[in-house]
């Protein structure tokens, strides 16, 4: 398995609170991605990174921000969590453009 | 917007039978990938087929790609109970390998 971990694995929080999810990789891969998975929607891209400090928005980026200050860590922040952000969040990594992605185990976030 | 759409949404077969899942997409692609997800787990990459390829094999998996019809199929031969999972197609259309996923096919293989 690719060396990719996510923390926390489960989190329950209240509406309006900030939340940060962490993705950590040991593969030295250049590309990192955050997806959310919801019933009936499959996986949707939130943000991605193509290098340290290089990030861009995905399909469902509203309400989320990201940071990547070093190769191995990609942080996803919900500045003020809402119930619509209750979801399972997956991080993925890829070594090269055009190659497959390796996924982390996911973080289940519940916003009450 | 959903780039890939899988068909059928759910498929139930017996062990030993073949399972075929289809994926349609809307725009030009760099490659198309298939992933498997067991319940409550992360996605696992199965196979990648590039836009200039028509067919690819990996073990019991066979993937075809028809760029003129914007469609792909995944065939799992001699299915096993352990193949029970959700299967997703994903299209790579950007220069950064961002993927657009379909909603998936739930495959149930009964012993």
A101 touches chain B (CB under 8 A): yes
B104 touches chain A (CB under 8 A): yes
> How confident is the model at residue A52, as a pLDDT?
94
The answer to whether B98 contacts A33, with C-beta atoms less than 8 Å apart, is yes
Q: Could you read off the pLDDT of B15-64 as tens digits, one per residue?
A: 999 999 999 999 999 999 999 999 878 999 999 999 999 999 999 999 99
Nearest chain B residue to A38, by CA: B103
Structure tokens at B36: 């498997």
Taking a C-beta distance cutoff of 8 angstroms, is the pair B35, B28 a contact?
Answer: no
A1-25 as b/e: b if 16+ CB within 10 A: ebebebeeeebebeeeeebebebbb
Residue A40 CA neighbour count, 13 Å, CB half: 0
Q: Could you read off the pLDDT of B53-86 as tens digits, one per residue?
A: 999 999 999 999 999 999 999 999 999 999 999 9
More confident residue, A17 or B41: A17
> How confident is the model at residue B5, as a pLDDT?
81
Q: How close B78 comes to chain A (CA, Å)?
A: 25
Q: How close B21 comes to chain A (CA, Å)?
A: 16
Is the pLDDT at A1 greater than 80, yes or no? no
- The helix or strand, by DSSP H or E, that contains position B12, with its residue range, turns out to be strand B10-14
Of A2, A16, A17, A24, residue with least CA distance to A75: A24
Q: Could you read off the pLDDT of A28-79 as tens digits, one per residue?
A: 999 999 999 998 788 999 999 999 999 999 999 999 999 999 999 999 999 9
Q: How close A75 comes to chain B (CA, Å)?
A: 17
- The C-alpha atoms of residue A111 and residue A21 are separated, in whole angstroms, by 14
> How confident is the model at residue B3, as a pLDDT?
64
> How confident is the model at residue B1, as a pLDDT?
47
> How confident is the model at residue B6, as a pLDDT?
85
- Assign A95 a pLDDT band (cuts: 50, 70, 90): confident
A63 touches chain B (CB under 8 A): no
């Amino acid at each position: 398995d690719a060396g990719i971990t996510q923390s926390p694995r489960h989190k329950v929080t209240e509406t309006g609170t900030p939340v940060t999810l962490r993705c950590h990789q040991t593969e030295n891969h250049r590309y990192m991605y955050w997806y959310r998975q919801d019933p009936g929607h499959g996986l949707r891209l939130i943000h991605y990174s193509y290098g340290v400090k290089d990030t861009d928005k995905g399909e469902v980026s509203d309400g989320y921000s990201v940071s990547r200050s070093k190769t191995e860590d990609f942080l996803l922040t919900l500045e003020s969590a809402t119930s619509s952000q209750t979801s399972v969040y997956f991080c993925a990594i890829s070594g090269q453009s055009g190659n497959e992605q390796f996924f982390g185990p996911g973080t289940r976030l519940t916003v009450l | 917007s959903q780039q890939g759409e899988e068909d059928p949404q759910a498929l139930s077969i017996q062990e030993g039978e073949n399972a075929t899942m289809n994926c349609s997409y809307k725009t030009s692609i760099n490659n198309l990938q298939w992933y498997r997800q067991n319940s409550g787990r992360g996605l696992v990459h199965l196979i990648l087929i590039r836009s200039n390829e028509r067919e690819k094999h990996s073990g019991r998996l066979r993937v075809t790609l028809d760029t003129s019809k914007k469609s792909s199929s995944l065939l799992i031969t001699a299915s096993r109970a352990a193949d029970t999972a959700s299967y997703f197609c994903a299209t790579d259309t950007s220069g950064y390998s961002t993927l657009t996923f379909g909603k998936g096919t739930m495959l149930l293989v009964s012993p």
